[in-house]
Structures are given as structure tokens and as C-alpha cells.
Amino acid sequence: MASLKSIHVTKHAKDGRGVNQLIADKLMKMGYIVTTGLETPSENVDVVVTYADSWQWDMTMYMIELTITIRDPKTNFPLATGNSYHTSLTRKPPVDMVDEVIGNIFKQEAGGGKE
């Protein structure tokens, strides 16, 4: 993970809330070159990021769970994964959940990212 320079965040087609962009923004702030979109780019990237977000209604819609997986772009093999789960009483804004998951993934890895 410490040798990563370029990352692609693959947006899933049903994401109408821009979670892919929140993930990409966080990674850019950490100093990585980041692209995002529905397809994996044809140019080489070091890793591909996928995610699964779950939303629930409790007076308002909120993100209850976010799982982010960092994958090898050639094999799609998961290299690292992180998860955040907050019920209504401990809910966090989506950007905070992204920060939590990305922070935990890179904290666990040697080198801790580029922050």
C-alpha cells in the first residue's frame, strides 16, 4: 500500500449520492492520483477501489453502512477492506464514514498512506 500512486474508484451504477466522489476526494487529499467512473480506466492504475453503501430511513435517509475494498486491477483480488456501520443513534454524515473507513484501511497498512 505504501507504494501506491494512482487509484481508480469504480462508481457503481446505482450510486446517485456521489459516494464514489467522496472516496476519490479523500484519497486525493491524501496525495494520490485518483480517477473515478463506471469503468476501470484503460491506462494503468496501481489499485481499484470498489464500495458498497447501504442507506436506511429513520426520519431522514442516512448511510447505515459503508464497505470499501481495495483491489488488484489485474486480478480483482481484494488487497484490503474496511467497513463502517452506524445505526440511527450514532449516524455520521457520508463524508465522515468515508474518512473513517479510508483512515482505518491506511492506518492498518505499513507506511500509513501519504498523509
| Contact yes or no for 18/65 (Cβ under 8 A) | no
Q: For position 114, what pLDDT does the model report?
A: 46
Q: What distance, in Å, lies between the first and last C-alpha atoms of the chain?
A: 13
Q: For position 111, what pLDDT does the model report?
A: 45
Cell of 79: 488487497
pLDDT tier at 112, thresholds 50, 70, 90: very low
The per-residue pLDDT for range 46-98, each reduced to its tens digit, is 999 999 999 888 888 889 999 999 999 988 899 999 999 998 888 899 999 99
Count the neighbouring beta carbons within 10 Å of the beta carbon of residue 35: 15
Q: What is the CATH number of the domain that holds 98?
A: 3.40.50.10150
Task: Assess if residue 113 is contained within a domain.
Answer: no
| Contact yes or no for 74/2 (Cβ under 8 A) | no
Task: Assess if residue 44 is contained within a domain.
Answer: yes
pTM: 0.87
Task: Assess if residue 87 is contained within a domain.
Answer: yes
Q: How many domains does the chain have?
A: 1
Task: Assess if residue 115 is contained within a domain.
Answer: no
pLDDT tier at 113, thresholds 50, 70, 90: very low
Residue 30's domain comprises 6-108
